[in-house]
Chain A
Amino acid sequence: MVIWDHIGMWVAAVLTIAIFSLLYRDNPFYRAAEHLLVGVSAGYYVINYFYASVIRKFAVPVFQQGDLWLLPGGILGLLILLRLSRRTQWVSRYAIAFYVAAWSGYLIPSVIQERILIQLQGTIPPQPGTVPWDAFLGAIIVLIGVISILIYFYFSAPHTGVLGRISQVGITFLMIGFGASFGYTVMGRVSLLIGRFQFLFQELPESLMNM
């Protein structure tokens, strides 16, 4: 392990403890680490995307390979910087309109395909007898769940009578789903916590021993 890696481990350890110090109460060490994270992250991502998009998708193709079809991308990008001045702010609307409309046009077919048609296809239960009974029962539960949730999200009629009772079933499914997602999220965070403790109490002492 080179010296910079050792120094890096110590820096990471100090910053990790500084962030964990919030568990005691808000303090200057936590605030300093938090502000450092904001600055470093902003710098990291802007450089990363600048190289990946502006350099690779604009500067290299236009100025080195002469692909002029990519020139409008750079012009639209520069228009967005005009937002910084009040007088020229309106010009940046062209770039924003371009970005939002391009996303919208791109999304419509893919959303209909992936989020609606494929999901509906997966909701249709298989023919009885072609799959084990428990899988068939599961497919029926999923079908009931999806229909009742969609009825719950239907706001054009008051949720009373039959509609109200079906939407109550939908809420039941949603609550189980939210609970499961919550459990999954907590376990994800706990595994990150374990990872940080492993770093502090295992990797760091090992690095000290190897110095």
Chain B
Amino acid sequence: MKKTGPVVFGFLIGVLMLLHHFTPSSWIGDRYNNVLDWKQVVFGITLILGVISLFTYHWKKIERRAEGWGYSVITVAGLIFMIAVALIFTPERGPYPWMFDHVQAPMQATMFALLAFYVASASYRAFRARNFHAALLLTAGVIVMLGRVSLGELIGIDSVSTWILDFPNTAAKRGVMIGVGLGMTATAIKIITGIERTYLGKGA
């Protein structure tokens, strides 16, 4: 019940999802769509579990007055405020969309923008052309970067950049995509048949 039950249940659901592609039965088709809807509901509730976990972690820090507990107050306040205003004013109007437009979106964009500096400094240390392949990576990166700005057009490197993106880059992306696709398919089959069950946690 505790170990085999979930694996058998997963097998039945996985087979149902696969069966849909091999049968014209509308009943199977309807159940397939039901499972897709259930999946979304489970995902939504799983997010609640995640938020409870985040809240508990920070709440314990505040209770124990652990180092940096003041920052945890900010996290908890932000979390509670967003949920409260969405429940009071609905998510379509009031402070909820305002918080997204003026707090979350600008901060998130700035966080990613900040990475421009760190990627530049990290790549300087990592890419010091130690061998042929590292030099190749560095050269391709520089050419693509130059090809995306007006300077690249001025020195005529934009066509080289386009060529790299169209051919060697396509080959690399496609090779990786096929490899990943084969890996995903194999893992999915292992999950449905119960060979892979580490996702169920310890003792499964």
Contact = CB atoms under 8 A, between A and B. Distances in A.
B179 interface: yes
B42 A111 contact: no
Interface of B: 2, 5-7, 9-11, 13-18, 21, 30, 34-52, 54, 68, 71-72, 74-83, 86, 91, 96, 98-104, 106-117, 119-120, 123, 133-134, 136-145, 148-149, 163-182, 184-185, 187-189, 191-192, 199-201, 204
7 contacts: A19-B114, A42-B78, A73-B41, A109-B18, A143-B171, A179-B141, A195-B113
Q: Range of interface residues on chain A?
A: 35 or more
A32 B74 contact: yes
A76 B140 contact: no
Contacts of A106: 17, 36, 39
B12 to A, nearest CB: 8
Contacts of A196: 106, 109-110, 113
Interface of A: 4, 7-9, 11-12, 15-16, 19-20, 22-23, 31-54, 57-58, 69-70, 72-74, 76-78, 80-81, 83-84, 90, 93-109, 111-112, 114-116, 119-120, 122-123, 138, 141-146, 148-150, 152-153, 170-187, 189-190, 192-193, 195-196, 199
Contacts of B179: 149-150, 153
A110 to B, nearest CB: 9
B104 A40 contact: yes
A26 B54 CA distance: 23
Contacts of B106: 12, 15-16, 196, 199
A145 B166 CA distance: 12
A190 B171 contact: no
The 6 A-B pairs of least Cβ separation, nearest first, read A177-B172, A145-B171, A105-B17, A43-B82, A39-B78, A149-B175
Nearest to A89: B201
A70 B30 CA distance: 11
B83 A102 contact: no
A174 B137 CA distance: 9
